[in-house]
Amino acid sequence: MNRLCTHFKTSTEAEITYLRRNFLLMNLHEYQAKELLKKYNVPVQEGFACTSVQEAEEAYRQIKTQTGSKFAVVKAQIHAGGRGKGAIRENGMNGVKVAKSLEDVQDIAGKLLGGTLVTIQTGPAGKVVNKVLVAQDMYYDGPSERKEFYLSILLDRSKGQNVIMYSTEGGMNIEDVAHDTPEKIFKEWVHPSGGLQAFQARKIAFNLGLTGEAFKNCVKFVTNLYNAYVGADCSMLEINPLFKASDDKIIAVDCKMNLDDNALTRHPDLAALRDVTEEDPTEVEAGKYNLNFVKLDGNVGCMVNGAGLAMATMDMIKLSGGEPANFLDVGGTANAQTVEAGFKIIMKDPAVKAILINIFGGIVRCDRVAAGVIEAYKNLGNINIPIIVRLQGTNAEEAKKLIDESGLKVQSAILLSEAAELVKKAVA
């Protein structure tokens, strides 16, 4: 459990946590998100994504030529935040590091690439770094003061509108800001029919305390960023820090972007950016069978039709003395093939001591599901753990008869309370 799971004192804090969680969604890497933002004329910290030390060296040379500065930043590209404070397990290198020379770049990129980065958001397992972003250093000296702000765009479910959330306190953990100083977080709702108005963008720039060129740049930045959010069907777009450089440029130094899975059909170019190496391999495999699977740390596997009933089944497993090992929604088609795939996926986990199949047959007939379970069971051969099958709804009695007469070591139930009792016995 990381700190995100603790209780919240303010609603703003809760909302921010909600936004920062990766729900719904396809994640983009920082370098991918920045490429996308550039298409919408949002100024970003420029850089090159590199998969080898040689590429990193070449990137550094180019950046040095372009900026005239020997400083550059090397950033690990993984789908998790907290990279700057996180470190590579094997050698202690931080996930974001400033380089002052070619040698530094060689050292940092060499230690990051192929290493396992552990941050507050990755959990102890960490994530393997396959790419680094070598980027220009934005913290150069100039006539005005540098500043770090925070800005994100997300959906406000209760209002049914998009909201821009921003703060003068950037570069730090925004949940801490929301917790300690909620008054420093501002919100601007965008009306769906008119879109973001110029006065709203100006208000944001004023509230961030900007004047002169920086003010004008910020208005443009916010306007273009909102266009990117809507244009790419983002479900979350977070810029932290939103940076005011010493020459009054407004720049996205970091970017976290999630896309709405449901909208990817109209963005084939964005769908192609999916990095499955960042996702749980079992969950990716389940997706191939149209199974909605989430791995959990329990001892009772389950296979259910419908998301709500699946969550309810997990709750019932817990109340029966077990711990759910997974969430698995087989959807509207529970046939032999999907049931077999579900069995295989659940049984990859050696901690699973029993499996509960809970299907409420509506349009799907229970006797067909039962035949599928029997076929899948026979195809798999040696299943050494108790299988409990609860089929209710259309043709439930026929289904129970099929299971009971199959000669397989499968326990059947019709009522949910009966299934709960069988789970209780299995984990006792």
The one-letter amino acid code at 3 reads R
CB of 91 to another protein, least distance (A): 29
Q: What's the rounded Cα separation, in Å, for the pair 13 and 183?
A: 11
Q: What's the rounded Cα separation, in Å, for the pair 310 and 328?
A: 7
CB of 11 to another protein, least distance (A): 7
Q: Is 398 a catalytic residue?
A: no
CB of 255 to another protein, least distance (A): 19
> What does the binding site for another protein look like in residue numbers (CB under 8 A)?
4-5, 7-8, 11, 13-15, 17-19, 21-25, 155, 157-158, 160-162, 191-193, 230, 233, 235, 260, 262-263, 265-266, 292, 294, 296, 304-319, 323-324, 327, 329, 360-363, 392-394, 415-417, 419-420
Q: Based on C-alpha coordinates, what's the Rg of the chain?
A: 26
Q: What's the rounded Cα separation, in Å, for the pair 35 and 5?
A: 32
Judge contact between 338 and 290, C-beta under 8 A.
yes
Quick one: 219 or 225, whose CB is closer to another protein?
Answer: 225
- 166 C-beta neighbours (distance < 10 Å), count: 24
Quick one: 12 or 224, whose CB is closer to another protein?
Answer: 12
CB of 93 to another protein, least distance (A): 27
Quick one: 82 or 171, whose CB is closer to another protein?
Answer: 82
CB of 265 to another protein, least distance (A): 6
Q: Which residue in 31, 60, 150, 229 is the catalytic one?
A: 150
Q: What's the rounded Cα separation, in Å, for the pair 283 and 246?
A: 45
Quick one: 5 or 272, whose CB is closer to another protein?
Answer: 5
Q: Which residue has the tokens 């396809």?
A: 26
Judge contact between 356 and 423, C-beta under 8 A.
yes
Q: What's the rounded Cα separation, in Å, for the pair 120 and 80?
A: 9
Quick one: 87 or 420, whose CB is closer to another protein?
Answer: 420
H/E element holding 44?
Answer: none
CB of 179 to another protein, least distance (A): 12
Q: Is 238 a catalytic residue?
A: yes
CB of 235 to another protein, least distance (A): 6
Q: What's the rounded Cα separation, in Å, for the pair 238 and 254?
A: 8
DSSP 358: E
**Distance, CA of 159 to chain centre:** 23
CB of 248 to another protein, least distance (A): 33
Terminal-to-terminal C-alpha distance of the chain: 27
Residue ranges of E strands in 78-120: 87-88, 96-99, 116-118
Quick one: 104 or 233, whose CB is closer to another protein?
Answer: 233
The answer for residues whose C-beta is within 8 angstroms of residue 105's C-beta and 6 or more apart is 56, 57, 59, 60, 72, 74, 99, 134
Quick one: 166 or 293, whose CB is closer to another protein?
Answer: 293
Q: What's the rounded Cα separation, in Å, for the pair 305 and 309?
A: 7
Quick one: 1 or 428, whose CB is closer to another protein?
Answer: 1
Quick one: 35 or 260, whose CB is closer to another protein?
Answer: 260
Q: What's the rounded Cα separation, in Å, for the pair 38 and 46?
A: 10
Q: What's the rounded Cα separation, in Å, for the pair 238 and 233?
A: 14
CB of 78 to another protein, least distance (A): 17
Q: What's the rounded Cα separation, in Å, for the pair 138 and 147?
A: 11
Q: Which residue in 169, 175, 238, 340 is the catalytic one?
A: 238
The one-letter amino acid code at 399 reads A
Taking CA atoms, 263 is separated from 230, 258, 340, 346, in Å, by: 11, 12, 30, 29
H/E element holding 377?
Answer: helix 366-380
Active site residues: 150, 238
